[in-house]
Amino acid sequence: MSNKTLILALSLVFSILLLLTACQKANPMDTAQAYIDAWSALDFEKMYDALSTDSQESISKDKFIERYETIFSAIKLNSVELSPQELIQEEDKAFLPLDAVFHTDTVDSFEAHFTLPLVLEKDEWKLVWTPSLIFPDLGSDDQVRLVSQHALRGDITDRKGNPIAIEGEAYTVGAVPGKIPDKQEFAKALAPLLEMEEEKILNELSKDWVKDDSLVPLRSFPLNISQEFKDKILSIKGVMLATNVVTDSRRYLDNELYSHVVGYVQRVSAEDLEKNKGYSSQDLIGKQGIEASFEEQLHGISGYTLFIRDKDNKTKSIVAERPPRNGNTVSLTLDPKLQEMAYQVLKDHVGAIVALDGKTGEVLAMVSSPGYDPNIFPNGVLPSKWKELSEHPDNPFINRATYALYPPGSTLKPFSAVMALEEGIIHEDTVVKEAEKNSWTPDMDDWNGPPITRTNHPAGPVNLDRALVWSDNIYFAWAALKLPYETFQAYAQKFGIGEPIPFALPVSQSIIKNDNTSWSKRLLAVSSIGQGEMLITPLQVGAMYTAFLNQGDIILPQIIQEIKSPDGQTIEEFERKIWKPKAIHEKWIDVILPSLINVVEDKTGTAHRLAIDGLTIAAKTGTAQKDDEGQKEIGWLVAFTPEESNPLILSIALEVPAGEGGVKLDMAKEIFESYYMR
């Protein structure tokens, strides 16, 4: 091959390579795809790099990035799906139709349709950018705006539809600068009342937006603040008390009455916002009680409108919108009159009262004392009030009905009787000679404790009826010691002890004995009389007694009557549920129930003080030591009305000084009289 031929061949190869390279660089889809990939990744810097020279001259990189970040951050964009269609190319121009789906936490998901214009610049395709590539109708002089529409939090009502918790106004203590004679003196006088720093008040008054006639909000309070406090606030010149500043507060209309059931809400914290989607900084979120357990149902989801506003401040077009979705209404099974009565009798005591519908398991009343006013929380609790409540020795935040675990004491004895009857250890006429003594030490080699003592009761033979009427410890300890450990534990579990109980509010799990404790004769004996390591909540003890009214079935306690959507559609409604079927054989109910009635009707019965003419009441009292010194005790009473068509079960547990638990009988009597004789 000649040199001339070789040169021609090499030139041809080089030209082909140049052409191939040029073709590769000149593919508009490559640029469009790079822009699409960067957009999908929300990489605004790479998006900017794909822009044409003229486009980059029209907006700086920093302004470009800032605009995208500002808009997409405001709408809380999670992701964008981009689907390119067929590219259209006309010489040095190209157009790519592009379908987009934006996924946001504000206006949900919405579609938009774009056309990406491309131009060939120096053998490279570049994207011709205008604001319409953010949203199609967006012009150079237009602005993107997002407006929220408040959604109401759902109401909480009692069984009759009376509101317990609603959305409403709060008092805002504000300052009107033009009416303040001396700002320093104003701050000095107001600071201790609002529990704010003087400097904080002065800083609020000196903000740029503040004018002489402005109302500068300083702190919000519930509408139930005292007249005395209002008078003190308003005595300071320049203070105004307004109810039109905070209109989305939470109001608890009965103050303390339902505090432990309903709980309370607070404004969301930064931590709440991280954990929960769909909340804004001013939203309320449940912190305790039904407010917390049913947050998902009660929380309203704000609406948003995303729109374009032109240079004349007129709405040009709506990009997307989501209507507000108000929260659902949660109706409780609580009877307002019964709740009020339980609250009144328990007030000034420490303990809990639970009232159940004996047939259905509906919780008709649930009160724990001491309580608190949930109205102090929605707009920020005063530091002094928080300190008072959080350091209170009787822990007012604890719902003792569901959270407090107490030794059940003698309220367990009817169930210990079932064990002994079922295993053939006793029958209804069995007399235990040992129970005629004041104390008894079991005659067995492996007994490892002090004697079993009994309460004072009349002399005479002690059969099952007398053992229940007089609440004799020795009788049931004697019977239990004839049971194998595993048998006693199996029966206790059959009654639900040691198992979690499903309920709308958190319930502490009951305990038969600690996991690391081995059974012993002493532990078995004292467990049979509700002592030892056994612990149960007042709610569960009350539920166990439903077996005596339902042919041996333990009915699941429930506190939710129904949940309805804002348009009145029923989402959930109460349905009676059996928790422990056939926990007690019916024949043993026929044996034990008359004795529980005798506990009240027999003049020597431990609950005879509870007797009411014309009303048959069955009951079991109990006492359990609360401290090692024997200075405090738990006074128990479970009482129910077996012959009524609407039987009521009361479970009462009081933390009282030793020997002062008898007040539980007076409480129950007052409740029964109010409920049945009203």
Percent above pLDDT 70 for the chain? 96
**Structure tokens, 24:** 């590769």
The DSSP output letter for 535 is: B
d(CA 544, CA 540): 6
Whether residue 4 has pLDDT greater than 70: no
Minimal CA–CA distance to 667: which of 636, 641, 642? 636
Backbone angles phi, psi at 510, to 5 degrees: -70, 160
Look up tokens 């048998």; give the residue: 487
**CA atoms of 110 and 238, how far apart (whole Å):** 49
Nearest CA to 342 out of 259, 405, 250 is that of 259
The string of pLDDT tens digits covering residues 445-472 is 889 889 999 888 898 999 999 999 999 9
Would you say 224 and 253 are in contact if contact means Cβ atoms under 8 Å apart? no
Q: How far apart are CA 137 and CA 318, in angstroms?
A: 9
Q: What's the mean per-residue pLDDT of the chain?
A: 94
pLDDT band at 20 (very low <50, low <70, confident <90, very high): very low
pLDDT exceeds cutoff 50 at 671:
yes
Amino acid at 603: K
Rounded Cα–Cα distance for residues 54 and 288 (Å): 59
Element housing 589 (H / E): helix 586-601
- Distance, in Å, from the CA atom of 266 to the CA atom of 289, rounded to the nearest integer, reads 13
Per residue in 290-321, pLDDT (tens digit) is: 999 999 999 999 999 999 999 999 999 999 99
Half-sphere exposure (Cβ direction) of 578: Cα atoms closer than 13 Å: 11
Q: Positive or negative CA dihedral for 471, 477, 482, 487?
A: positive
User: pLDDT of 578-632, one tens digit each?
Assistant: 999 999 999 999 999 999 999 999 999 999 999 999 999 999 999 998 776 778 9
pLDDT for 54: 95
Residue ranges of domains in the chain, CATH in brackets: 24-140 (3.10.450.100), 156-332 (3.30.1390.30), 340-372+405-677 (3.40.710.10)
User: What is the rounded CA–CA span in Å between residue 364 and residue 213?
Assistant: 52
Distance CA 221, CA 610 (A): 44
Rg from Cα positions in the chain: 37
The share of the chain scoring above pLDDT 90, in percent, equals 89
Distance spanning both ends of the chain, measured CA to CA: 123
DSSP 602-634: STTSTTGGG-BTTB--EEEEEEEE-STTSSEEE
Cβ burial, residue 203 (10 Å; 0-12/13-18/19+): exposed
- Assess whether pLDDT exceeds 90 at residue 23: no
The arithmetic mean of pLDDT across residues 246-267, rounded, is 95
Sequence-distant (≥ 6) Cβ neighbours of residue 587 within 8 angstroms: none
